[in-house]
Amino acid sequence: MTLGILAALHDEVDGLIAAMRHDNARATVHRIGMRDYYVGELYGERCVLVLARVGKVAAAATTVTLIREFGVTELVFTGLAGGVGPEVRVGDLVIADRTVQHDMDARPLFPRHLVPLLGHAEFPTDPTLTGALRTAADRFVREDLATAVPAAVRERFGVDAPRLHLGMIGSGDQFIGAPATVAELRQRLPDLLAVEMEGAAVGQVCHEYGVPHAVIRTVSDRADDSAHVDFSSFLAQVASHYSEGIVRRLLSARREGG
């Protein structure tokens, strides 16, 4: 069993890479398609870590490489998202039970959101892996957050009592940062909780290859006209700790259970 872990931005995966290199002297790096794939043990489990970069094409290409070149048997995507659901706040965690490409539109040849010739608009995540990820996120928030992210940082960003949400995540090749765009997305996809730029591409590839996957996102903004404010600071000071801490919890629990 090999778990593939990918993210779009450096701060979302760098802490995990550092942990693998620190704990596993035999970790190797493979350069394929302008990406570095780190292979080794992470918290006692065999993993491949990679920075996918931003966007659906980048995520899909990286996912195919993880499956075909490294034989990963499961995938987890971690990173940031903009909150769209009315109850989703900055600092919350959204775990996908399914993903959709909100910018897929081949009308009139195919219905909106439907991936042409595949017959699917939504891509369910794996229930078992998603459940384990949800448990890991819950334990991180309850037991680790206070020490992982300093109180002053949590106060600055208003991250007091993060909540976990399970539901639809939408992916598209655009940064959502306008209230009018959010309103249109909510009308078109009423169940949508968060938006990002990669998860549904990973979901489609995993569906086509029959590989279980899960997607977890830290909400960095409300996808409105202030979405760009302090994005980099939130990523470095908050979200990076979420990613490392939750994956550590996930892998530790799998090792203890297995």
- Domain-embedded: residue 33: no
- Domain-embedded: residue 62: no
Domain with residue 166: its CATH number is: 3.40.50.1580
- Domain-embedded: residue 93: yes
- Domain-embedded: residue 154: yes
Nearest-angstrom CA–CA distance, 83 and 63: 25
Selection from 16-25, 69-78, 158-167 with the highest mean pLDDT:
69-78
Which tokens belong to 11?
């701060």
Looking at residue 250, its pLDDT comes to 97
- Domain-embedded: residue 12: no
Domain count, the chain: 1
- Domain-embedded: residue 2: no
Looking at residue 236, its pLDDT comes to 87
- Categorize the per-residue pLDDT at 258 as very low, low, confident or very high, splitting at 50, 70 and 90: low
Q: What is the pLDDT of residues 182-233, one digit of tens each?
A: 999 999 999 999 999 999 999 999 999 999 999 999 998 876 666 555 778 8
What is the average pLDDT value for the chain, to the nearest integer? 93
What residues act catalytically? 12, 221
- Domain-embedded: residue 22: no
In terms of residue numbers, what domain contains 178? Answer: 78-257
Percent of the chain surpassing pLDDT 70: 97
- Domain-embedded: residue 171: yes
